[in-house]
Amino acid sequence: MMEVGTSYADALAEMQQRGLAEADPTLDVEGYDAANKVVILANAVLRRPTKLADVSIEGITRLTADELRAATAQSTRIVLLCLAEPFEGDYRLSVRPTSLPLDHPLARMSGDEMGIVYYTDIGGRTSATTLERGPKPTAAAMLRDLLDLIAG
């Protein structure tokens, strides 16, 4: 929304109204919600014992509409990118606003989507996205997690 001139405050209010941002949006806009997803993936997929303190985190609150529009003018898009990049036999984990080319799978997503891209030595690039137009998908995932814990 800010790419087309909506103010941060108005965009946030819209996301809160639609149930995509919490009443206290700190975890979302400061990158902590995304960082927690990096921790889960690092533990589950990379099999790397990881805590939140292991992730370098920068949120989106300092981004301006001008910066977002400038990125668009340069045929890029700024997204809040979670990254696990190989580094000296381990992984460097981060969450930060990052400029991506418009043909990148994560740059093509709408504001209602979340996505992940895996780069593998055998399969190359694989990506998946999910469309979440309200709080129901998150609530369903929480219910599934709760049922897994109870059954566990």
Catalytic residues: 37
Q: CA distances (Å), 119 to each of 4, 83, 137, 139, in order?
A: 31, 11, 26, 29
Q: Are 86 and 64 in contact (CB under 8 A)?
A: no
**What DSSP assignment string belongs to 17-68?**
HTTSS-SSTHHHHTTHHHHHHHHHHHHHTS-----GGGEEE--STT--HHHH
Cβ neighbours around 59 below 10 Å, total:
21
Name 120's bridge partners.
Answer: 124
